[in-house]
Structures are given as C-alpha cells and as structure tokens.
Chains A and B, each alone.
Chain A
Amino acid sequence: MDHYLTFGIDRTFGIDRERLEKRFYQLQSSSHPDRHVRAESERREQALAESSDINEAYRTLREPIPRAKHLLELYGFSVADQKSVPPGLLMTVMEAQEKIAEFEAATDRETKQEAMSELVAITEGLETQRKAIDEERDRLARTWDIAMHPTDPAQLSDREKEELGRIAQLISERAYLETLRISVTAARQGKPAFIQH
C-alpha cells in the first residue's frame, strides 16, 4: 500500500509535517466509523478499513526513518536486505556491548567507573559517525526530492537505484549505532541493557 497515495501527497523523503497532520485530521474525520453508525454494515466496514489505513499511513509518514523506509520499499529497496556493513562497525558495536556487560557485572566502584569512562569515549566516537551518516542521508534525500522520478520501480535509472541503495545502507548503519546508543543510555541509568524490540 502506498501511504503517500492515501494522503495524496508527493512521494518525497522530506515532507511538511504540519500539513501532514492537518490532512490526517481531515481524512480521519470524513472516514471515521462513528460517522457511519446508521449506514449499512458494508459501508461501515469500509469506513473502518479506511480509517485504519489512514492511521497506518500517518504513523509511517510522520517520522523520517519509517517514512524513508516506506519510500524505499515502494521502489523495491529493503533495509533488511542490507547485508554489507562497513568493516569495523559490527566489531565496534560488539566491543561496546561487551563493555556494557563488563560495566554491569563489575561489583567494585573503580572497575565500574573505568568501564563507564571507556563507554563514554566509545559513544562519543559513535555520535560523530552517526552525525556523518545522517548528514549524508539528508544530502542524498534532498537531492532526490528536488528531481523528478518515475513511480514505477522498473523505470528507475541505474543512477537512481544507486542513490536509493545508498540511502537504504545508511539507514541500516544508523540502526546499529542507534541500538547501541539505547543500550549505553540504559546502562548509564542503571537499567538492564536488554533490548526490547
């Protein structure tokens, strides 16, 4: 399902969030199932389905990452397929996670503090990486948005495919850093670093 179509907006990475919100309330109020209580059950069911489509479209389009993933999927690119990771990234993430485990297992203050200061240093390095990733993604997305593109994935040029592929890759790299950041934050707050997806 094309969520952009549901909202009747252009298929771009960047969107006007205020307009999206307004449009959401408009759409929702015209299809709200309560408005069709007296209608025949068929019409009511249809309204219900519409309403849940609108909710899902809104949830997806509201935040930049889910929105970007959706746009990519419309063109047949999936973040889940991004198997190649820059060398060193997984290693860094793994080492940092082991540091967190060390931090959590430590019983004396000194070891704990030492592990934490190492963690802080690692996280700062990762923050820099994350910024670089976000900047590149932003730049690519903006360049994409100002040009015209086919809606049919089969008509994408090699150049367009390359651009979308790169964006998908950047989103997956970001996921590793983001998950780690959440773990580090949880550890610092004394919460279990177990990741709940």
Chain B
Amino acid sequence: MAYSEKVIDHYQHPRNVGTLDPKDANVGTGLVGAPECGDVMRLQLKINPETGVIEDAKFKTFGCGSAIASSSFATEMIKGKTVDEAYAIKNTTIVQELNLPPVKIHCSVLAEDAIKAAIEDFKKKQATVPVESMA
C-alpha cells in the first residue's frame, strides 16, 4: 500500500503517544475499535473545566499505519481547541490532510469516534464531580 508522506511521517514519528491518568476528573478517555479489522485506539484528553480548552492529548493505537497516523494527527490538531470545536471535527478533515485512500477511510473514522468518546467521557465525569472540588 502506498502511504502518503504525511502518513509515513506520523507513523514513524507519532506525536503524543502515551497515557494520561484516567482517574483524573479533567481527563476524558475514549476507547474505540474498528469492527471490520479489529484494530483498537485509546485517546485521552486533558480538558480545563473552566475554559473548556483541551490542554493535552495522548493516544495509543494498536492498528494499521493509517490508524496510527490518524490518531497522531488528531491529537496534534485538537490541542488548544475547545471541546466544542474538537467535537465538531469530521474524519473527512483527517482523510484530506493525510491523503488517505478510500480503503483507509475507516481508520480515520476511528480517530473521530475516539475524540467524541473521550469528550463524552469527560462530560460524564464532570457531571458527577463532587461539589467541593468544583469550588
């Protein structure tokens, strides 16, 4: 498979690989899988609860080169964005930026799903945060 230069770059030097503390109330974790190929991706966001700005993003992807590149690129793109901006990101942006061929579109869908799942997890956590720590 001929990968674009950008994919190879992200694949060989993935940005933001790692883990954030999943128990931190300001960290949202999204764990998603691709039902056809069985690849998995975990994406974590550290979000400032006051401003809604994404301060940090980390991922771990066990999957194909496009999935790794998509998640690496996604973490780079969403740092500094607000939760709402990040939630609105479509996989088509990733496809265009990385020049993914049609058979690899589902790999970028995985990244979009992971962002959404992480944000939803963060929101759920915030809704249940004990009152004292909100002060």
Contacts and interface: CB of A to CB of B under 8 A. Distances in A.
A123 interface: no
Interface in B74-116: 106, 113
| Interface of A (DSSP majority class) | helix
Number of contact residues on B: which range applies?
Answer: 10 to 19
Given A97-B62, A195-B62, A195-B63, A79 B36 contact: yes
Nearest to A83: B35
Interface in A76-119: 79-83, 85, 89-91, 93-94, 97-98
A172 B37 CA distance: 8
B31 A195 contact: no
B38 interface: yes
Nearest to B104: A197
Contacts of B62: 93-94, 97, 183, 193, 195
A79 B37 CA distance: 10
Nearest to A196: B64
Interface in B41-73: 42, 60, 62-64
A179 B37 contact: yes
B65 to A, nearest CB: 8
Interface residues of A, number: 25
B14 interface: no
Contacts of A162: none
B64 A90 contact: no
A80 B38 contact: no
A103 to B, nearest CB: 13
Interface string A163-197: 00000000010011111100100000000010111
B33 interface: yes
A197 B113 CA distance: 20
B40 interface: yes
B120 interface: no
A85 B31 CA distance: 11
B33 A80 contact: no
A90 B31 contact: yes
Interface of A: 79-83, 85, 89-91, 93-94, 97-98, 172, 175-180, 183, 193, 195-197
15 contacts: A80-B35, A83-B35, A85-B33, A93-B33, A94-B40, A97-B40, A98-B60, A175-B37, A178-B38, A180-B38, A195-B37, A195-B39, A195-B64, A197-B37, A197-B64
Interface of B: 31-40, 42, 60, 62-64, 106, 113
Given A93-B40, A175-B35, A175-B37, 10 more contacts: A79-B36, A80-B34, A85-B35, A91-B31, A93-B38, A93-B62, A180-B38, A193-B62, A195-B62, A197-B37
